[in-house]
Amino acid sequence: MSDAELYKRQGMGNRIGFGKKAALVLVDFTVGFNDPNAFGGGNVNDAVQNTVPLLAAARRNRVPVAYTRVMYAKDRSNVGVFATKNAKLADLTMDNPLSHVVPELTPIDGEYIIDKTEASAFLGTGFASWLAMRRVDTLVITGATTSGCVRATVVDACGHNFRPIIVRDCVGDRALGPHEASLFDMDQKYGDVMGSNEIIAAFTHQGGK
């Protein structure tokens, strides 16, 4: 029995699909997480490049857009267990160029930037309230890393009863093993893994309403 067959036998892997309104979130697509000499490597840069047309489609169809950045105080007063376990994260401060969104995906006016100190976009932030104000029920998730902050955001989105849609070719990780394992696991338990072409079509439909 294959892994997929086992999960199906146990009632997992059901499709949840899109709800009434989607938002796009770009998780930690920052200079540091796209730099193999910092926190990047693997297929992260491919995911960044694949997200460029997806972001353009979201903007064109008036889909709400949010970004996350790992951001700590320069005096490290808000460093917790996450940045203790991963010590170099504490260097990601506002005056560090590695902390900011990659130039290819630069935010524009009206897009929400979430500065966070934990893996999830939800923990200790106003993200859930921002989504609720916009009556969003579906969260299209891109970013880095697949096995880290993307996964944490997907799990918490599910826990907040948003429909997580993970964009397969727009998430990346420094190591491909954790990337593939996380995609499989999220697709089985927490959300739907889809390709960017499918998402662009869904955004076009939403924008046409």
DSSP 147: I
Helix and strand element counts for the chain (H, E):
7, 6
Which residue in 149, 157, 186, 194 is the catalytic one? Answer: 149
Q: What is the CATH number for 115?
A: 3.40.50.850
13 lies in a domain? Answer: no
Query: Has residue 205 got a pLDDT over 90?
Result: no
pLDDT digits (tens, 9 = 90+) for 16-55: 999 999 999 999 999 999 999 999 999 999 999 999 999 9
- Which residue segment(s) compose the domain that 74 sits in? 19-207
Specify the pLDDT at position 1.
Answer: 83
3 lies in a domain? Answer: no
Does the active-site annotation cover 149? yes
5 lies in a domain? Answer: no
1 lies in a domain? Answer: no
Specify the pLDDT at position 209.
Answer: 63
Q: Distance (Å, rounded) from C-alpha 182 to C-alpha 201?
A: 25
pLDDT digits (tens, 9 = 90+) for 138-154: 999 999 999 999 999 99
pLDDT digits (tens, 9 = 90+) for 61-119: 999 999 999 999 999 999 999 999 999 999 999 999 999 999 999 999 999 999 999 99
Query: Has residue 2 got a pLDDT over 80?
Result: yes
Q: What domain count does the chain have?
A: 1
Taking residues 163-181, what's their average pLDDT? 98
Q: What is the DSSP string of 5-59?
A: HHHHHTT--------S-EEEEEES-BTGGG-TTTT--TTHHHHHHHHHHHHHHHH
Q: How confident is the model at residue 166 (pLDDT cuts 50, 70, 90)?
A: very high
186 lies in a domain? Answer: yes
10 lies in a domain? Answer: no
